[in-house]
Structure 1
Amino acid sequence: MVGSIEIAPFVLPLAQEYRWAKGVQTERRGLIVRVEAWGAEGFGECAPAIHLDTDVTALASEAGALVAGLPPEADDFLSRLDARSAPDRLRCGIAAAWLSARAASKGVALAALLADGAAPADVVPVNGLVTEKTPEHAAARAAALVAEGYRTVKVKCWADPAADLARVAAIREAAPAAHIRLDANEAWDAAWALDHVRALARFDLDYVEQPIPSHRPLAEIAAFRRASPVRVALDESATGPESLDAILAADAADVIILKTQRAGGPDLARRMIRKAADAGVQVTVTVSLESAIGTAVALHVAATLPTPLPDCGIPMGRFLAADLGPMPPVEPGAVMAVPRGAPGLGLRPDAWPLRR
């Protein structure tokens, strides 16, 4: 067997602050992975949690140790990788690169390989993101997104009920026809979160993400969902296929927020999509502020969602001042095309990250 695996760290500056419940970030750190096998190449990205001060050089060494001695052209490559207990985000980057190389060698898109006989979508509808701090700036961002064709805006919230109410009220006034989603990112206290959701419900919300922290008992989260006047989406709680099984068994979510990074790769993300669909639970695919590489992987995963596809939280490119490759653009109608420039991932990174 032949083939190779190349791993390189990167640090990308942000074009603007990324403000959310866990802080304010000014750069994106991660790894890019390249797999060459079967005469084809594939790429993936490992995107650590953005609020962590990750040493990407050390992370690259950890990833290198995980794949040391693994034959890229082995059909059971992922099983061998799993036997080494790869952390989810490292597994995601490695698995995405391997699977996209596998798809490229077969002359098909990664989405088609994941869909396993079904027809994946060509485009994915997307939502816009509002992170601005003041009501005036948040409303202006929402109005601008609607003017660009977005139907849905997702609003980052913090542990400040009064600020949330002021911002959401201003957004609703500025975008009266938009679907509004709120993302608490575990910032709300379970002691007052339900009352807060009841106060916010008058703004006709689509759903609220992770309204109470994921460390709370799942039975408590399920009870919150039953009492909530707004649909409940679980994000941080949905860490992989096993956690999804528990969520579904507890009937704890109306919507699952699926991040390919946290799921551990596109194959495991696809498994979660199937399980949720069988249970009649919506899945919305989002990203972890990834580069063009991770964004492309997320688009391939989202293309396998049941139809009609929900507006997914994928367009984050405006936050990046530099990138690893050509970021898939948001097209008219607030959709992003699944990259199809070539079989596999559909796009290649620029050469410089690998040389670095």
Structure 2
Amino acid sequence: MPDTVDLEEILARTHVVTLPMRVKFRGVLAREILLLDGPAGWAEFSPFVEYDDVEAARWLAAALEAGWLGYPEAVRDWIPVNATVPAVSAAEVPAVLGAFDAVQTVKIKVAEAGQSLAEDAARVGAVRHLLPDALIRVDANGGWDVETAVRALRMLSAFGLEYAEQPVASVPELAAVRRELAGSVLIAADESVRKATDPLAVARAGAADLLVVKAAPLGGVRRALEIVAEAGLPAVVSSALDSSVGIRAGLALAAALPELPYACGLGTVSLMAGDVAARPLVAVSGGIAVRDVAADPQLLARFAAPAERRDWWLARLRRCHALL
């Protein structure tokens, strides 16, 4: 099993990089990532720095699955993906969308701390103006309370919303928003699945119309497939601001799902100003072909993290390995 891989073997296969961002995302302009050159392929361990070791250990389990076990059989070889617009000003939207090819679906961040609903509406409106026929989804990352979420989504629905992702933080709040909106806006659960001790609570509570699943936070592709099957809800596969190596795991999950009714959030390499693959996994004509990817030695050297950050990540890896 991947979780029994010897620590010293893992440490011998590590590379730590810092990838620059084109725009600020989750408050950062650089993304730190630990990569593993595993016997079954390259793998990524990149829980955000604020995550505790218990949560981050699931990301390590996913990386060991990818690098030492490989991926399950695929049922499709091309994955439709959405463009992602961070919480930028409306004036910056054209430049962000310009990094994506043949955009047909767009996910827009809303409810950013310190920003107003008017700014959210301006951002969504800017996307709709530029792409009158695109599918639009918004992602609040649990940033609203129930009352604000209902008011905001009723307003934003004027632009035509495919769905709203995690408008509020908790499962009971999601259920309340879904009841209030009565089907006028579909509700997707993200954090209430990937950060929950019980990822199936959303489905049991009838709190969402669909799930957003990410391979790394759920402990790997196989575990994510089990959760989707048990929940019995449609799923969207998303990334966690990964390099192309991490996106490969997301593609594997999307490729293995029995049904894939929605475009996936796997286009975030386009938000980066650097990557570790010579042929990055970026969308062409609105999707990404499923293929293996390897880190390029020259790019690993170019984006190598400073020694103190490498040491920080190796210490984190050791602690997380002890929890598996």
TM-score normalised by the chain length of structure 1? 0.73
Match of 1:260 among 215, 238, 242: 215
> What percent identity do the matched residue pairs reach?
30
Asked if 2 retains the 8 angstrom alpha-carbon contact of 1:92 and 1:260, the reply is yes
Post-superposition shift, 1:9? 4.5
Partner of 1:222: 175
Match of 2:17 among 11, 18, 23: 11
Q: Distance in 2 between matches of 1:141 and 1:316?
A: 11
Post-superposition shift, 1:152? 0.4
Partner of 2:33: 30
Partner of 2:84: 129
Asked if 1 retains the 8 angstrom alpha-carbon contact of 2:166 and 2:174, the reply is no
- Bigger-Rg structure (1/2): 1
Residues 112-141 of structure 1 show CA distances to partners (whole Å, capped at 9, x for unaligned) of: 1xxxxxx51111011111126222322564
Partner of 1:47: 46
In the TM superposition, 1:266-305 aligns within 5 A as 266-276=221-231, 279=232, 281-305=233-257
Partner of 1:161: 117
Post-superposition shift, 1:189? 3.0
Post-superposition shift, 1:85? 9.9
Query: Helix, strand or coil for the counterpart of 2:217?
Result: helix
1:209 matched to 2:165? The reply is yes
1:347 matched to 2:293? The reply is yes
Q: Distance in 2 between matches of 1:15 and 1:202?
A: 31
Asked if 2 retains the 8 angstrom alpha-carbon contact of 1:10 and 1:32, the reply is yes
Post-superposition shift, 1:295? 0.8
Partner of 2:75: 120
Q: Distance in 2 between matches of 1:321 and 1:336?
A: 19
Partner of 1:70: none
Query: Helix, strand or coil for the counterpart of 2:200?
Result: helix
Partner of 1:67: none
Query: Helix, strand or coil for the counterpart of 1:34?
Result: strand
Q: Distance in 2 between matches of 1:224 and 1:17?
A: 31
Q: How many residue pairs get matched?
A: 289
TM-score normalised by the chain length of structure 2? 0.80
Match of 1:323 among 275, 281, 289: 275
Query: Helix, strand or coil for the counterpart of 2:93?
Result: helix
Match of 1:251 among 201, 206, 209: 206
Q: Distance in 1 between matches of 2:159 and 2:72?
A: 36
> Please, which runs of 5 or more residues in structure 1 have no aligned partner?
63-83, 101-109, 113-118, 340-345
Change (3 A) 1:8 1:191: same
Asked if 2 retains the 8 angstrom alpha-carbon contact of 1:7 and 1:31, the reply is no
Q: Distance in 2 between matches of 1:206 and 1:188?
A: 19
CA RMSD of the aligned region, Å?
2.8
Asked if 2 retains the 8 angstrom alpha-carbon contact of 1:287 and 1:295, the reply is yes
